[in-house]
Amino acid sequence: MNPKLTKSEIEFWLRQTDPAELEKLWQAADRVRREHVGDAVHLRGLLEISNYCRRSCAYCGLSRHNRSLARYRMTAEEILDAARQIAAFGYGTVVLQAGEDDGIEAAWLADIIRTIKQTTPLAVTLSLGERSLDELRLWRQAGADRYLLRFETSDPELFRLIHPPVGGQTLSRIDILRQLRSLGYEVGSGVMVGIPGQTYRSLAEDIDLFRQLDLDMIGVGPYIPHPHTPLGKGRIRPSVSPAEQVPNTEEMTYKVIALTRLVCPEANIPSTTALATINRESGRELGLQRGANIVMPNCTPPHYRQLYEIYPGKACISETAQACQSCLAQRIRSIGRTIGTGPGCRQRRTTPCDTQSESAAVRSAPNR
């Protein structure tokens, strides 16, 4: 962990716009990335196994209130066939992602996890929303290695506004992340950058919370409005002054990736599809050059992939998994990086990380 940057300094860098100063941030993050996780880019094969969701989140196209979306749920055989293909590509991990779908029964999924673990060398990552402790325990016992659950924002008021609770819910996402750690999962979380209502201060709090939770994986991407959601339609308008509202820009996302790398030097950080969506030419590459070390190629069958519409216009929506594999390999090698092998677990150090020399270039921010 890097205890050096304070929340005030993080906020200072989030507000920084001078290209010469930002270049120092990019270089510092890239050096820390190289020293702590190396030059290998690990590939996680993403399977979007269901777009059903019981939630009514104000930002997400999978919301149960989106009547225009055709729903699907992959069969066990479809999931296992895709997982075998992911292993054949040489990827080290399969990521099973879905909306918060009550139709995904715990025992059914546990059988799938066991089969993947018995028949492939893949690590299994789950990203299925808020599930019960019993379900999480069962999946861990079946062999699941990691769980991703974004807390989206550390601002409790904003979270309640954009993520209405469901009946009987008693635990916060932070509580669930701590439960996941106690069960032995590698734990991942993250936030959206520039969602309406997000202030510079709350985003700095988010990055500091990454550090406090000692996350193994951290995913950040720009907020992309969906026209069939309350936020996309402008029906929800959080009260934040324009000067304090974080923009949902490409540059701001790179700042968050870079600062996250500095405060969590060992974490696995993806250069996300959302980045590639807002910059199809070089978004993923720039993310990798500014602190990221993971890419998640989409291996969902194309006829399902177009229906997993958290946000519209997603990059690579019609590419086959084979085409995506070839394209990403070329892009990774074009920036002088190598393709990682194996599951790419977080490598913890036996002594505390000391990245003071690497972060010195970004410690000129005044305390405020």
pLDDT attached to residue 362:
60
Query: Is pLDDT of 2 > 80?
Result: no
pLDDT attached to residue 186:
98
pLDDT attached to residue 363:
57
| pLDDT digits 0-9 by tens, 113-149 | 999 999 999 999 999 999 999 999 999 999 999 999 9
Query: Is pLDDT of 351 > 50?
Result: no
Domain map of the chain by residue range? Answer: 7-360
pLDDT attached to residue 360:
53
pLDDT attached to residue 170:
73
Q: Sorting pLDDT into bands at 50, 70 and 90, what band is 240? A: very high
| pLDDT digits 0-9 by tens, 139-177 | 999 999 999 999 999 999 999 999 998 877 778 999 999
Query: Is pLDDT of 323 > 90?
Result: no
| pLDDT digits 0-9 by tens, 42-95 | 999 999 999 999 999 999 999 999 999 999 999 999 999 999 999 999 999 999
| pLDDT digits 0-9 by tens, 190-238 | 999 999 999 999 999 999 999 999 999 999 999 999 999 999 998 888 8
pLDDT attached to residue 325:
86
Q: Sorting pLDDT into bands at 50, 70 and 90, what band is 305? A: very high
Lowest mean pLDDT: which of 100-114, 156-170, 344-358? Answer: 344-358
The answer as to CATH 3.20.20.70 being correct for domain 7-360 is yes
121 backbone dihedrals φ, ψ, rounded to 5° = -90, 10
Nearest-10 crossing angle of helices 321-334, 76-88: 30
- Two tokens, residue 206: 């988010």
Contacts of 204 (CB under 8 A, 6+ apart): 7, 8, 10, 11, 14
